[in-house]
A and B are shown apart, each in its own frame.
Chain A
Amino acid sequence: MHQEYTVIEGDFVNAGKASSSVKKTLKQLNVEPSIVKRVVVALYEAEVNAIAHAYGGKVLVDIDSDKIKMVVADKGPGIPDIALAMQEGYSTARPEVRDMGFGAGMGLPNMQKNVDKLNVTSEVGVGTTVEMEVNF
């Protein structure tokens, strides 16, 4: 089952649209509540990242009976050092974004914690693609 969502730069109001919709689908599929929670938390983080750091992008979700694959691909500045970005507390967020309670440098580490597979690819000046997989 394939679902697609568009995220727009700076549109914090609509952050969480994709994760809420995915949440409902997984509940219907009788996926264990703790797994649903992990999926939702990781996807929400990725959505917020694309909104806060990039110039928007796309969320592509593929749900099977035994796993979910999520791809959040943004057009944006890219991440020069992915290993550094994976460290807790490291953030390049603008002050105004931090003032809104985002950009604590927990985004990627939090995704890592909640998914079974995480793959981040990035090209500076082009964008970042976060691929995540969670098994049911």
Chain B
Amino acid sequence: MFVHALKIDDKKCIGCMRCLKACPTEAIRISEGTAYIQEHRCIDCGKCHETCPVDAIYINEDDFQMVHEFPHSVALIPAVFLGQFPEDIRVSRIYDALVDLGFRHVFEVESAANIFAEAKEQYARENPDIRPLISSFCPAIVRLIQIKYPSLVENIMPIKAPLDISAIYALQELQNRGIPREEIGLFYVTPCAAKIAAVKAPVGEKRSIIDGVINMDSLFNRTYRKIKEQGKNYISKQSRTINLSSDAILSTLTNGERRICLAKKSYSIDGIQNVMDFLDKLENDEVEDVEFLELRACDQSCAGALLSYENRFLCGARMYARARKAAERERNGEVPREREMDKMKKFLIENSRVEAPQPRSMFVLDKDRSKAFEKMERINRLKARLPQIDCGLCGAPTCESFAGDVVINRIGLSRCIFYQRHLERKNDITRQECIAAMNAVWGDDRMKEE
């Protein structure tokens, strides 16, 4: 079973069906008036979170106090975090504020972007028969392929994302300085739910080395508050910032991996629906000769991530501005500090491999094919009796998914209001039974008298 980061608060949820319709894997159902997530179908993409009008869908994070429990707590921040801040706030000021908040060290995750790229190229050379190769960068995409496109699982590169590689580096670097492991706390600042899930239950790994996860939006609040508190006359600590290369800064944006990959023919696709449309074609062998695919669940990739406070285009524009400055420094011969990682390159690349992800199809009706066959025939028969308007009043997103729920989860068919009328006409259902069916989906409260 997957571990999930997205949760629904029953007390806040108003059962409005927006998330029911938004979920790309049909993972959500409504029961007793509130939405719930079917865990085996959820890929933590966050589409539901985006659409919720009452903020009932939340993302669990670790207690910030944990940061103070380690003498050497490390903030692993993504480049999009810096893209959240107004341009007049200097990068060093943000680093300073993070230190004031209790982090002894700050590492930028994208420092590992070039090592990640090299690990991918090496894998591509070693496996000339597997094409196209799909980047493992976006954890929501890895899960999407596992559950919806099982035949493409072998195309995913079994390589740790930059986040994990930079965590290994940070840990090794600090231990090399003589700091014992138990004094080091690695905290990942996450822009999305999928990365939390990837940290808590990594695909192809036993456990992650990361000690805690902090949501990017809540850390933005803390950091921005700190900067405001310190005011204009603040004297800089002159924190040593990591001057990333322009390639690294842009790597989390759309085209970021593709622009530096060696593949002759590659595509970069963002937005989960766009990715699914493409994978449907790819699965049918309708896409020819493509060698590499950069697929990202969010529109504008990580700049459009769920926990991004800033508008995705403004965040992206700030990152481009930063990348332009970095490119200028590089032209002047300055070596980006991320290159310090190169001294461990061999070690990092060797440790970046994970076991191949396994398919875990959400479609399978039964492991036993003859039973699956029976169930499918029943679903098809049922489906033909449903109105095909996907109204959602039964608590399932489509008539088809409802038919599946009736057969697999033994949900009562009378939850369909059309079928209910049909039974009523035949005098096969009492008024009490109708109300009970309605209450099962929409809860007792909604049917209360005024």
Report the Cα distance A136→B370, complex, angstroms.
12
Is B380's beta carbon under 8 Å from chain A?
yes
Report the separation of the CA atoms of residues A25 and B283 in the bound assembly, to the nearest whole angstrom: 14
Which one, A15-23, A79-87, A91-99, is touching chain B? A15-23
User: A27-B150, A27-B361, A65-B369 in contact; A37/B377 too (CB < 8 A)?
Assistant: no
Cβ-defined contact, B367 with A30, below 8 A: yes
If A27-B364, A28-B376, A30-B372 touch, whether A16 touches B286 (CB-CB below 8 Å) is yes
A37–B285 CB distance below 8 A: yes
Determine which of A33, A34, A136 lies in contact with B369 in the assembled complex, contact meaning CB atoms within 8 Å. A136
Whether B100 is near chain A, meaning CB under 8 Å from some CB there, is no
| Max chain B Cβ within 10 angstroms of own Cβ: one of A16, A27, A63 | A27
Which listed residue (A1, A29, A40, A41) contacts B365, Cβ 8 A?
Answer: A29
A119 to B44: give the CA distance in the assembly, Å. 46
The A4-38 residues at the B interface (CB cut-off 8 A) are: 16, 19-20, 23-25, 27-31, 33-34, 36-37
- Let me know if B286 and A44 touch, CB within 8 A: yes
Choose among B284, B361, B363, B372 the residue that contacts A40 (Cβ–Cβ < 8 A): B284
Contact with A along B344-372 (1 / 0, CB 8 A): 00000000000000010101111101101
CB <8 Å contact, B364 and A20: no
Main secondary structure of the interface of A (DSSP, over half): helix
Pick from B151, B284, B364: contact of A28, CB under 8 Å: B364
Set of chain B residues within 8 Å of A27, measured between Cβ atoms = 150, 361, 363-364
Nearest chain B CB to A68's CB is how many angstroms away?
Answer: 12
Size of the B side of the interface (Cβ < 8 Å), in residues, is 22
| Cβ contacts under 8 Å, A1 to chain B | 373, 376-377, 380
- Beta-carbon contacts of B259-282 to A below 8 Å, as 1s and 0s? 000000000000000000000100
B376 CB → nearest A CB, Å: 6
B280→A20 contact, CB < 8 A: yes
Count of CB-CB pairs between chains A and B under 8 Å = 61
Q: How many of chain A's residues touch chain B, expressed as a range?
A: 20 to 34
Cβ distance B444 to chain A, nearest Cβ, rounded Å = 35
Using a CB–CB cutoff of 8 Å, the interface residues on chain B facing chain A are 150-151, 153, 280, 283-286, 359, 361, 363-367, 369-370, 372-373, 376-377, 380
> Within the assembled complex, what's the spacing in Å between the Cα atoms of A1 and B284?
22
Residues of B within 8 A of A41 (CB): 284-285
Residues of B within 8 A of A20 (CB): 280, 284
By the criterion CB–CB under 8 Å, are A34 and B151 in contact?
yes
In Å, the complex CA distance between A64 and B380 comes to: 15
- Chain A residues near B285 (CB-CB < 8 A): 37, 40-41, 44
Q: A29-B365, A30-B361, A44-B285 are in contact. List 20 more A-B contacts (CB 8 A).
A: A1-B373, A16-B284, A19-B284, A20-B280, A23-B284, A24-B363, A27-B361, A27-B364, A28-B363, A29-B369, A29-B376, A30-B367, A40-B285, A41-B284, A44-B284, A44-B286, A64-B373, A65-B372, A66-B369, A136-B369
- Complex Cα distance A75/B286, Å? 25
How far is A24 from B276 in the complex, measured between Cα atoms in Å?
14
A24 to B151: give the CA distance in the assembly, Å: 12
A–B complex contacts, Cβ < 8 Å, 27 sampled = A1-B373, A1-B376, A1-B377, A16-B284, A16-B286, A19-B284, A23-B283, A27-B364, A28-B364, A28-B376, A29-B365, A29-B369, A29-B373, A29-B376, A30-B364, A30-B365, A30-B366, A30-B372, A33-B150, A34-B151, A36-B151, A40-B284, A40-B285, A64-B373, A65-B370, A65-B373, A66-B369
